[in-house]
Each structure stands twice: as structure tokens, then as C-alpha cells.
Structure 1
């Protein structure tokens, strides 16, 4: 069936538009102010105030600037919250995101080469090959990917490896790095087609990785191997420890057993059963490192795990679609913040399942839950630490309505000690492998 738009159709649409008494007023309003300003509902300000029955002390909000490192910031923030409590660290203390950024891009390059060789016998128009070449590497990631980096490289305070131009503004290095990776993909695929030996392929990859290391060292600075840790605590007492490695620093000052922390998702689509674990083909960063693994749970259990961890005094890494119904300057994430349906007099609402299946929504940003407002032991709104600096929200903190969480939150990371017996048994299962482009493989 085909349907071309006729002149008669256009005339009918025009007449219907002119017949609506509000059309000219709304046309002037929207053309002058934009869609969001014209549809903003000011009631959302009063409905989402910054008061919470559970409100953890977490210090100053960090700023990822012009980079896609939210997943790193959020994960490192959950660790620094614990460190601040243990060691009385000042509110502005941060772990080095630049250090993790270097190693993530380095490892992602090697992971890309690995996948290029695994798919070298497929044509370039195969969907998997096209998916690889579309974005050889990017800033985003997931919790398990940061764990893989920490297990291999440790962590350092920001004082040991501070921000650089390229860590704060990653677009330039990303463009050059992706060009390099695609260039190298041609070479690797050609070598496979020519029947190159395993030894030749390995030697070629090592030369390529040497180039990658040099490029990243120029962009971010070479990662620190040993350093001294100096700070004044909140009581102005001076502390210094000399000759730490990133691994020894993590062991002493963070001290988490990272195996205790697992990813829980809420994906209410027909292809994903609850109480089942999932992984995603060709998703990761460290070859041989911790794989991505998600446990899919119903939303009520998903939220209860987050509440239980907050009640225990521990903040919660989470992933959501921050682009939907979110007011950045005020720091409000709530359904109805923008009345697009009322403004345009049309239907836009989709179920969470349909939004995932049809590409309308997916996880694209990671933040930290640092509080929750409980009424009759049920959450009504959540306090969120973002990583966009202190000039948005309430000094960088956002409010998320519970209904917004239901619709747009997809992932939380919790300690396994909060799992029920049923959930723990489900989490221990071998994961079902999803296709590379599955929405649960989206990088925050």
C-alpha cells in the first residue's frame, strides 16, 4: 500500500489547522520560546522538592564536562562516598577519572581488534561488521567494564593524574582514534583474507597497540605507576603516604570486593524473562576481563534493592534515559514535566516495553542514587547525584520522581548481600547472550 500526499490533503490539513482557535497563539508561543519552554509544567517544581527521608552525605558534585564518562564518574563517586566516610576526606576529593579514561580507551582498542578478527570472514555489509565499524570505540561504558579496568589497573586519586584538555573534551581524540581503528581494521581483515599466520596477526596487533598507547599518552598523559597520596582531612589534619601503586591504593583506601557488586536491570520486553541473567555479544573493554552480566528483575524488586542499599548507608550506581522528561537546569526528572501531548493535542505515550523495542528509549546516562523519600515505606522520589557540575539542579543534585524511575530507569548496581535467595540463585545462572545492538547493551 502506498499513500502519496495530495494537494487536496494539504488543503484539508491547512483548513483544519486554521479552524482551531488556539493555533495562532500556540504558533507564536512555540516559535518564540521552543517546544520545551512552551510545554513546561511549573507544578513539577513544587511536586519534586529536595527533601528526603533518607539522604546520604556525599560531598561536592563532580563535572564530566564535554565527555561521555558518566559511567566512570558515577562508579568512582560511589567509591569515594565510602572513602570520605572512612577517612574523613574533604568534600571536594575525587578519584581520577582521567586515569580510568586512558586505560578504557587503550583496552577498548584491543577489544575492537579482537572483534575485527572474530568477524573477519564476514562481509563488510554484514550487520555485525557494520555495527563494529559504526563506532569502533566511544566514551561510554557500563559498571562491569569499570570493574574490569579496576581489577587490572587499580585506581588513583585525581591529584595523581588530573584532568587534561582531552579528558574533559574528548571529541577530538575520539575522532582521530576511531579513524586509526578503522584504518587498522582494513589491515587486519586483509591479512586474514591472505591467510596470515597467528604469529603475524599477533605481531601486527602489538604494533598497532603501541601506536594506540602513544596516541593516548600524548592526549591524556602517561598513566602514573607510583605516587604519593597527600591530603588534609575535614579536621585539617595532614596525611601522607608515599610510593603507592594504583592497586595498593585501591586495596587500602577503597577496599571493596568488586565481586560483591552486580548489575540488576529492568527490561520488560518479551525476549527477556525475569529471574534470568543476560550478557551482550561483543560488549566489553578488557579482553579476558570481567564480562557484562545483568540480572533482569520486576520493577518492584529492582527498586527495593536500591532502597535497601540506601538504608544501609551506601549510594547506588544506576543507569537511565536522562533525555526524557528531564529539566536540566532545575534538576527535575518527572513524568509530565513537559506537556507535549497537551501542547500538540496528540498521543505520544508508549509503554516501557514498546519504547525499548522501537528505539524510543534506552539507557544513556549513569548517575548515583544518594537518597530516597519513603512514605509508608514506599518510595515517592529519589535524590540523584549527577556529574554535570554544580550549576544545574540543587548544586548538582537532581530529584527523580518514583514514576519517572518506573518508566526510564533500566539498571542499578547493588551488593549481592541484599539479594533474596531467589534473586541470588537467578544471578548465579549462566547468562543468555543478546545481540550486539540489544538496548541493554547501550553504553551510558
Structure 2
């Protein structure tokens, strides 16, 4: 089919102007939006009144954390689920696991993972889609659940007292800019070595020097990760405890003790290319070379919610990923499809299905948080309690309310213990995954 070129004509513009002149609401809408902006002008307070922070299942998870000016939500959310369990067992107050420690090792491992992919694609031209995709963002703050598991399985974790926050962990733009510049320079060198038919030993030596440079940059930015440390705390009964000379892996095994292999990623991606009850992974997505791979089981939204509710009913919070910027009031902590009436404001429709948003780039997972409660009416969820990692000054002391309808449209991933999977889903989760393209929306990093 041949489509003719159609430039905008004066007749069209006249028609548009005449249509606007027929709308009695146009002048007041123009004044309102130009003065206040689109969101404030379309705000619907009814959604606020329907989002009271009261839930039939409500886990006590303490004070929220604050990722500040960094993209570590996935890391905060995962460590928070572990912190909840640990704090309950040990009677800890105001306790956090070190996000700077896992941040350090994530960036170090991502550099090596980047080199691995650069070498795998070194025979492709620089403008191939795969190479261009790699060079767009050599590394970033974001990640997925399986990537944190890979870090913990290799490096363990530590309490925040053993490796506290630094300027660069809380405000990561500077280290990201410097590190990505270095990684792109390294990519040029690695690709040239391959083009020059360098030996494996020469390439390994160059790669080792590159990692040495990255390690030094990270130590200067985040501090040296501890090899051993002492863990001291006072429990809820005021009893003092001290455990000395722990390694990070010993600390994880002794104080967290989760079998990470039991926790699996569940997604809801209703696109035609991803049939339900099948597993998927994403090419060139990960951080630890030869570590735990990203693996998703795609399920219906009904199964998605049942699994989340089952884990909450068992007293355990749930890591989840969503597109937090959609229909969301950050300050009040409300995620509701009706919070902004832009269709009414502009007298048009923005309607798309969840699958269409994924296929056409309108939505993907952008943020990870923790489900800590749900309100059930006649056994069905109406709203969800969400622990965020943006500090206590947003929402209800850092907690958000998410409508069940919002979950349907903008939640994409949860992590649950395999014990909650029914037999058919357990069997499906054990299958070998289909490999998706690197730019697939299910590879988005929270």
C-alpha cells in the first residue's frame, strides 16, 4: 500500500480553530492549564477519598527507607523484604541492611557483564541494534530481583552500620557519568583488540586492567566493602547482642537465612508474544557473569494477585515492580486510575490496553516497591498497601495506597516463595525459558 504525503493545510487549521471556538469550556480550560499545568487541572479528589490507608491485612514493617537521588529502588525493595523478616525475628528497631554494599558490587559486576557482552558482539558493526543498545547505557542503577540474588549469593550482605551511605550512593549521577564514559572507552579498546585478532591472553589482560580501574573508581566513590565486621544490636527487650568477625556471607546465612532459590519472579505481560504459564528470560540482561539468570513466569492477573495475597496472608511482604509514574500522586501517595481526568480535560481518549502500552512503549516497569498489605472485601482485593523507598515525607509516612484497578494496568512483576505456587504453575516455572530480545519491556530495570 502506498501512502501519499499529507502536509497540514490552511483549510485544516481553520477547521481546527472553528472546532475549538464551538467548545464553551475552551477559554476556561486554556486559562486553567496554562496557569496550573495538566496534572493539577485534571486532578480528581474523589480518588483521594477512595484511597483511605486502612487494610484488612496490614503487616507491621516499621519506618520506610530513602533511596534519595539514586535508582536503587529494586535493591531497597528487596533488602526491605529481608529486613522485615529479620527485624521481626530479632526485635530490631530502625534497622537497615546496607544498600551501599550491594550497590558497590552491582556496579562492579555490571562492568564485567558489559565487557562480556561487548566481546560477544565484537563482530557486529557499531551501528547494529545490539551494539547500539549496549552503548546507550553501559550500566545504570536499576535492576531486577534475580540480579540482587546473584549479588547476595556471591558477596553476601552487611548491615548498614558496616557500610553506610556515601555522597555517591545517595546521589549517583556523578559516578554513573564517569563510569559509563570509562566503559564506553573500554568497549572501543576491546572491539579493537578483537578486530586486530589479539590473543585471548591479551584480551584477558586488558579486561583485567579495566576491572582494576573500575574497582578503584568504586572504592573512591562508595568506600571499601568490608571483608569482616562486628554486628551489634539491642533487641526490643533492651538486651544487647554482639557477633564479631563476621563475613558478609556468614551474616546473610546466620541472620537472614533465606534460600533465595525458593523465590521466583512472576510477571503479568499480556502481549501476544508471551503466552501465559510459560517462562522467559532476556538476552544480555544481568549483572553477575555465570551468576543467577533473570527468569520470569508469565501468569494471568488473577493468578498474579492470588500469589501476592497468599504471601501476605502468610505474614511475608512482597517485592513488586510497576510503572509508578502513571496515574500517581507522589506527594499524597496514591496510585489510582481516576486520579487525573485528562480524557475529560482535553475531550479526547488516551485509552490503551495493558498489552498495547507494552508493545508501543507507553509503559514498562520503572520502579520497585514492597506490598505490605491488602484490603479484601468478600475475598477480593480492592486496594493494596505499598512501602516505598522515597522517605517518610511522601504518602502516609512513606506508605502508598494502590487501587486494585491500578494494579491491573500498571503492575508487571512480583516475587513470591515457590511454596505458594499451585502445582500447574510450579510445573510451568521449572521449564526452560524463552529468550527475549534485549530491548523487550520485560527486561526493563526498576
Category of TM-score, reference length = shorter chain: over 0.9
Q: Any unmatched runs of 5+ in structure 1? A: none
Spell out, residue by residue over 1:85-132, the C-alpha distance to the aligned partner (whole angstroms, 9 max, x if none): 110000x21000000000000000000000000000000110000000
* Partner deviation per Cα, 1:296-339 (whole Å, 9 max, x = no partner): 00110011000000000000000000010000000000111100
Number of residue pairs aligned between Structure 1 and Structure 2: 443
Of 126, 148, 152, which aligns to 2:154? 152
**Equivalent residue in structure 1 for 2:63, among 36, 57, 60:** 60
Specify which of 94, 97, 106 is matched with residue 95 of structure 1.
97
Q: Is 1:240 the counterpart of 2:242 in the alignment?
A: yes
Q: Does 1:257 align with 2:259?
A: yes
Q: CA offset at residue 438 of structure 1?
A: 0.2
Question: Given the alignment, which residue of 170, 173, 181 partners 1:171?
Answer: 173
Residue in 2 that maps onto 1:27: 30
Q: Which residue of 2 aligns with 1:421?
A: 423
CA drift of 1:236 comes to 2.4
Query: What secondary structure is seen at the aligned counterpart in 1 of 2:153?
Result: helix
Aligned to 2:216: 214
- CA shift, 1:8, in A, is 1.9
Partner of 1:84: 87
The correspondence for 2:325, drawn from 307, 323, 334, is 323
Q: Does 1:42 align with 2:45?
A: yes
Structure 2 residue aligned with 1:205: 207
Tell me how far 1:241 sits from its aligned partner.
1.0
How far apart in 1 are the matches of 2:185 and 2:352? 41
Return the offset for 1:15: 2.1
Aligned to 1:71: 74
For residues 269 and 334 of structure 2, what CA distance do their matches in structure 1 show? 23
Shift of 1:365: 0.3
Q: Distance in 1 between matches of 2:179 and 2:238?
A: 43
Instruction: Specify the alignment match of 2:301 in structure 1.
Output: 299
Match of 1:51?
Answer: 54
Q: Distance in 1 between matches of 2:6 and 2:368?
A: 43
TM-score (norm 2): 0.99
CA deviation string 1:372-401 (max 9, x = no partner): 000111111000000000000000000000
Note the C-alpha offset of 1:235. Answer: 2.6
Q: Of the candidates 130, 133, 139, which is equivalent to residue 132 of structure 2?
A: 130
TM-score by length of 1: 0.99
Residue by residue over 1:150-198, the C-alpha shift from the partner in whole angstroms, topping out at 9 and shown as x without a partner, is: 0000000001000000000000110010000000000000000000111
**How big is the shift at 1:20?**
1.2
Q: Distance in 2 between matches of 1:249 and 1:129?
A: 39
**1:188-211 residue CA offsets vs partner (Å, 9 max, x unmatched):** 000000001111111110000000
Distance 2:166 2:6 in 1: 54
Instruction: State the distance in 2 between where 1:196 and 1:231 align.
Output: 54
Partner SS state of residue 400, structure 1: strand
Q: What are the ranges of 5 or more consecutive residues in structure 2 without an aligned counterpart?
A: none
